[in-house]
Structure 1
Amino acid sequence: FSLLDADADEIDADGNGLVDTQVITNAPEITYALNLNVNTPAWGGLISGSLGYSYRDDSTLTNEGNGVSPIVQPSFDLINAWVSWLSADGTWRFTINGRNLTDEEYLTNGYNIPALGVLTGSFGDPKSVTASIGYRFF
């Protein structure tokens, strides 16, 4: 759990006095995560798994520039999970992994470069589900 109070109270880039209207970017007020992990013997081996939930409050990703409004990312939630079976002798592992299971669309950062006319951002990864099989030779 994180509670952040990010205020600009000492910014004076040009020596013209305090500029306290500047928004601190990428500074959500509240973020938190909760994970549930499990390990249990099953089918002659060990099943391990994790279910994770995280929350990120709304945040400003760019500052205003040349009359362009900043990019603001609304608050969002992410759910990730994985489950794995490991054989008793540790040679075989089967894993299924899911990330962003609710397929949340969210920005991870933003760029405002007025001189180049650039106002853009990068999106976080979409929903993905992967599976893997591993064999340990040694």
Structure 2
Amino acid sequence: MKTKLKKLIGAITIVSLVLTGFAVSNASAKGNTKDTNFSFHFTNSTSGKYEYTGSREKRDNTSAYMSVKSINMTGSVHYYAELVTSSGKSFSKRYRNVFGNNFRLYPKTQYLKNYAHEDYKKTIKVKIKATGYGTVNSWGASGVWSPDSI
């Protein structure tokens, strides 16, 4: 009888430790969803050159999130944005999203698909790479972004 009780207590202890381990690992794998401000400045002379956000940790396999708060020009302007590694390298599959001042064509908020988690299978630093185009000499865009989405 005492042996069965000891085995039962041992089994309950092991199961409890395993479940606690899962809870801790899930908590530490929580996505990096806090919004960070960005501001891009584009000119016709730098068309085709890139602007970048700061680097942040990407912790899960969700899309990155980007929301435009303002574009400071009324002419026809737009920019392409994609998630890249902190060194600027594209992932194995590229997804380019378009943002612009015609919000009917280009939504203000978009989820940037990426292969960061699939390519690296670990937490890595990422940033957004953007290149702008327009019919005006100089313009800018600002908003918020996060490397992981909910």
Shorter-chain TM band: under 0.3
Answer 1 or 2: which has greater strand percent.
1
TM-score of the superposed pair, with normalisation by structure 2: 0.23
Q: Tell me: higher relative CO, structure 1 or 2? Use CA pairs within 8 A at least 6 residues apart.
A: 2
Answer 1 or 2: which has greater helix percent.
2
TM-score of the superposed pair, with normalisation by structure 1: 0.24
